[in-house]
Amino acid sequence: EKPGLELAVVSVPSYACQRHTPLLHHNTTLTDALSILAENAELSENEGRGVAFRRAAALLKSLPQEVRGAEQLRGLPCLGEHSLRVIKEVLEDGVSHEVETTTHSEQFKAMKALTGIFGVGAKTADRWFREGIHTPSDLQRSGHTLNRAQQAGLQYYDELNLPVTKAEAVAIGQIVERAVHAVLPGAEITLIGGFRRGKQTGHDVDFLITHPDEGREEGLMPKVVSWLEAQGFLLYQKTTGNSYLESKEGPARPASNMDRFERCFSIFRLSTDNEGTEIQTGLRSRRGLRSRRGLRSRRGLRSRRGMTLVVVGDHAQKVSWVLGHSQCSGPRSWRAVRVDLVVSPYSQFAFALLGWTGSKLFERELRRWAVHEKAMTLSSHALYDRKRTQYLRASSEEEIFTHLGLEYIPPCDRNA
Ligand code: TTP
Ligand code: MN
Ligand code: MN
Ligand code: MN
């Protein structure tokens, strides 16, 4: 009589890379609970525990229907004792005591707030927490010496914690394309990360850049960055050169999840005028005033000091609110957006694409599958077959899945 009892007899494969995991699924109450515990474990630098909760959540995300009772979980992989206990509690009581305690704990709240600062990891946040620093404001007041990334992270804290919309990602993509084509015509730019998996929002925007003539992409990033900087598009950037060839990472050694491509972690200055999300909450600087006037006359809007001219949609409202209330903002017609740029040689493109599309758990599961089930080493650069002692080439993601003996999983189903 209970609907969905057949779940128990359906066999579900145990690696997330063997399953289709769509963005929208049927068990969000359960996966939200498990994700909190995963996050807490990661913030406490208990990686193993974090992965266990993430795997359990990913399993639930891949199920074709809602789980209504614990008996439906019989025979399913990836559900450890702890995760099962939490799931049963949520199914029976609607909430889990451990999850509630975690979300309300001072330490969890502080660690989330502090690691929410760009450039701050769990180790640093924990050190600060133990010194009594619980919020970005506490940190600001503390007088701690911050590196360049952390300074930018603090300066743009509120904005960088607003989700980036697909429309904003597309707008950033157009800027990146102009920059790349200005310095290397024929280069190809691909939107990667969460947006490639079909997410409608993200914490940043990720792009992969390559060129069909191998070698032409070498040293591309500094040129792109110079162009962007000259045009005033960058609020922060840190570029790292390609270190793949010099790396001591032999093929037989398990690849780390950090790759060695030329890359740039940046913060873009995205104009909010282009998209109907025009924002104005106050006029202070002359420069701002002048540019606002130009804008207004262009659009035939009446000038009025301190008034929001055009705010379209819920997201624009939020952006407007944050910009209007951040301590250091004068009049603003732009917002800060985190952007990651990666450059890959053409022959490694398929591996880079697969490695940078995510999700993080999906990537982890691919590498685990490769090592444990196929005696292969997968990285964002290459796939190495340890039995045949050779690299396996691929020019598409499909070929990599084939090499790995896996059914092809499209990006929209990699939301593990
Ligand atoms: P993220 O941008 O961190 O995550 P995301 O795009 O999936 O989610 P969000 O929408 O919140 O931004 O990372 C994107 C992918 O890039 C992820 O699969 C991991 C991969 N990656 C690397 O391979 N190497 C790296 O050094 C980093 C930072 C990410
Ligand atoms: Mn989840
Ligand atoms: Mn991303
Ligand atoms: Mn990213």
Evaluate if residue 290 carries a pLDDT over 50.
no
**Average pLDDT of the segment spanning 11-18:** 96
Q: Which pLDDT belongs to residue 283?
A: 32
Q: Residue ranges of the alpha helices (H) in 238-394?
A: 286-299, 313-325, 349-357, 360-374
**Cβ of 66: how many Cβ atoms within 10 Å?**
16
| pLDDT interval class at 277 (50, 70, 90) | very low
**Average pLDDT of the segment spanning 241-248:** 77
Mean pLDDT of the residues in the chain: 88
Q: Residue ranges of the alpha helices (H) in 23-74?
A: 28-43, 47-61
Beta bridge partners of 190: 208
Q: Which pLDDT belongs to residue 386?
A: 97
Q: Does domain 353-413 have CATH number 3.30.210.10?
A: yes
The amino acid occupying position 80 is: G
**Cβ of 305: how many Cβ atoms within 10 Å?**
11
Q: Which ligand is nearest to the CA of 33?
A: 2
Q: Which residue has the higher pLDDT, 326 or 151?
A: 151
| pLDDT interval class at 297 (50, 70, 90) | very low
Q: Which pLDDT belongs to residue 346?
A: 98
**Cβ of 29: how many Cβ atoms within 10 Å?**
15
Evaluate if residue 259 carries a pLDDT over 60.
yes
| Cβ neighbourhood burial of 389 (10 Å; 0-12, 13-18, 19+) | exposed
CA–centroid distance, residue 196 to ligand 4 (Å): 12
**Cβ of 111: how many Cβ atoms within 10 Å?**
23
Domains 5-102 and 105-160 belong to one CATH topology: yes
Q: Which pLDDT belongs to residue 289?
A: 38
**Cis ω for the linkage preceding 359 (within 30 of 0):** yes
d(CA 134, CA 113): 7
Within the chain, what is the greatest distance between any pair of CA atoms? 72
Q: Which residues line ligand 1 (CB under 6 A)?
A: 193-194, 199, 202-204, 206, 258-259, 340, 355-356, 358-360, 363, 380
Question: For residue 197, how far is the Cα from the chain centroid?
Answer: 11
Q: What confidence tens digit (pLDDT) does each residue in 155-212 have?
A: 999 999 999 999 999 999 999 999 999 999 999 999 999 999 999 999 999 999 999 9
| pLDDT interval class at 273 (50, 70, 90) | confident
Hey, what are 308's tokens? 């929001």
Q: How far is CA 96 from CA 37, 46, 314, 322, 385, in A?
A: 10, 20, 31, 33, 44
Q: Which pLDDT belongs to residue 299?
A: 38
Name the one residue in this structure whose structure tokens are 């990836």: 78
Q: What confidence tens digit (pLDDT) does each residue in 71-117 have?
A: 999 999 999 999 999 999 999 999 999 999 999 999 999 999 999 99
| pLDDT interval class at 35 (50, 70, 90) | very high
CA–centroid distance, residue 201 to ligand 4 (Å): 12
CATH of 105-160, picked from 1.10.150.20, 1.10.510.10, 1.20.140.10, 3.40.50.1100, is 1.10.150.20
Beta bridge partners of 335: 270
Max mean pLDDT range (255-264, 322-331, 390-399): 390-399
Binding-site residue ranges for Mg(2+): 204, 206, 340
| Cβ neighbourhood burial of 275 (10 Å; 0-12, 13-18, 19+) | middle
| pLDDT interval class at 17 (50, 70, 90) | very high
Atom of ligand 1 nearest to the CA of 193: 6
Evaluate if residue 285 carries a pLDDT over 50.
no
Catalytic residues: 204, 206, 340
Evaluate if residue 19 carries a pLDDT over 80.
yes
The model's pTM is: 0.88
% residues pLDDT > 90 (the chain): 78
**Average pLDDT of the segment spanning 346-364:** 98
How close are the terminal C-alpha atoms of the chain, in Å? 31
CA–centroid distance, residue 193 to ligand 4 (Å): 6
CA neighbor of 228 nearest in space, from 275, 277, 271, 178: 178
Q: Is 270 helix (H, G, I), strand (E, B) or coil?
A: strand
% residues pLDDT > 70 (the chain): 84
Q: Is 157 helix (H, G, I), strand (E, B) or coil?
A: helix
| pLDDT interval class at 351 (50, 70, 90) | very high
ipTM of predicted assembly, 2 dp: 0.95
Atom of ligand 1 nearest to the CA of 380: 23
Domain definitions of the chain by residue range = 5-102, 105-160, 286-332, 353-413
Architecture of domain 5-102: Orthogonal Bundle (1.10)
